[in-house]
Structure 1
């Protein structure tokens, strides 16, 4: 079962299980790990607001379209619960805070950054 279905549950009992596996991003120290990881394999960070319906829609669409786990490691950040991590991402990677937001990290740098309706798994895949 997907990480997000564990958080939000599913209103549809016929809902298919998505094969997407997220790494939870919950601590500042993980950002150093992400930088190191991105030297070998790109990392995507999805910043999500649990209070925003637009963020929830972007998240569901991204999860449904994501089909290339061998190319990128996806991390999920609940920016309401971990605002300090969200702020550090903006500072460390030089991106303006948005919610929802998708950031691609390669070789320790943000190389792709989109928010709201521009979040698209197919576009992310094209960047890899």
Structure 2
């Protein structure tokens, strides 16, 4: 799991067309901590690319993602990007290793 801090880093990743997950994480929210733990659990079983941002450190990036892709900001929030666009997203307790695996499987056929 790699931290993304800037809009430039994120846009470069999206423009590459790679398939990846992005997690919006709040360091002050216990629900977000649970989502982060599930994301980390999924990472252990996945060979995909996983990235995250910390909302407190990267508010501009978080807002940029919401505006550019028309996905209302929530935290925690997991977003799957396929072919430079959002293929799936979930928030709060819907972020589980199982839901992330299912989203990957469903969108990468």
Which of the five TM-score ranges fits, normalised by the shorter chain?
A: 0.7 to 0.9
The structure richer in helix per residue is: 2
- Does the CA-based 8 Å contact 2:42-2:100 persist in structure 1? no
The count of aligned residue pairs is: 103
| TM score, norm. by length of structure 1 | 0.74
Runs of 4+ residues over 3 Å off in structure 1: none
| 1:120 aligned residue (93, 96, 102) | 96
Higher relative CO (Cα under 8 Å, sequence separation at least 6) belongs to: 2
Structure 1 gaps of 5+ residues are 1-21
| TM score, norm. by length of structure 2 | 0.86
Question: Aligned to 2:56, what secondary structure does the other structure show?
Answer: coil
Relative to structure 1, is the Cα distance of residues 127 and 65 closer, same or farther in structure 2, using a 3 angstrom cutoff?
closer
Structure 2 gaps of 5+ residues are 105-109
C-alpha RMSD over aligned residues:
1.3
Larger radius of gyration: 1
